[in-house]
Amino acid sequence: MIGRLNHVAIAVPDLEAACAQYAGPLGAKVGAPQDLPEHGVTVVFIELPNTKIELLYPLGDASPIASFLEKSPAGGMHHICYEVPDILKARDQLISDGARVLGDGSAKIGAHGNPVLFLHPKDFQGCLIELEQV
């Protein structure tokens, strides 16, 4: 069902400092910040040869990343994103296998302009999973 790893997302308390670390000492290609109001986040993608790192920063007080950072003030890994060819088919199969989809179960448009949805971390060894249709 799942395809390649699209990205690993890291919640950060200081977006500028995180970008500087990836661009400076690590020498990575750092993208421009993108505000995603529907998701309550600002994202920056770090381009790697085989995948991406997504830096997440809260956009507003109601951001899910703000609550994540309250529990983990230094930041940390937030989720892993896998590609799927058909997000609705993947969702329906996962639900029939007992997995829980977060929210109302419908896909939203993510940072790459593609449909995404999230799977409950308690169903995947404590890891929040994002599926992105490509």
> Contact, 27 vs 64, CB < 8 A?
no
What's the pLDDT at 44? 98
Q: Which of 16, 38, 83, 130 is catalytic?
A: 130
What's the pLDDT at 1? 87
Which domains occur in the chain, in start order?
5-133 (3.10.180.10)
Long-range CB contacts (< 8 A, 24+ apart) of 103-108? 107/133, 108/38, 108/39
| pLDDT higher than 90, residue 17 | yes
What's the pLDDT at 15? 98
Question: What is the average pLDDT score of the chain?
Answer: 96
Percent of the chain with pLDDT over 70: 100
CA distances from 19 to 45, 50, 100, 108 (A): 9, 19, 33, 26
Q: Is 54 a catalytic residue?
A: no
pLDDT tens track for 90-109: 999 999 999 999 999 999 99
Distance between CA 48 and CA 101 in Å, rounded?
29
| pLDDT higher than 90, residue 40 | yes
Q: What is the pTM of this model?
A: 0.94
pLDDT tens track for 53-82: 999 999 998 999 999 999 999 999 999 999
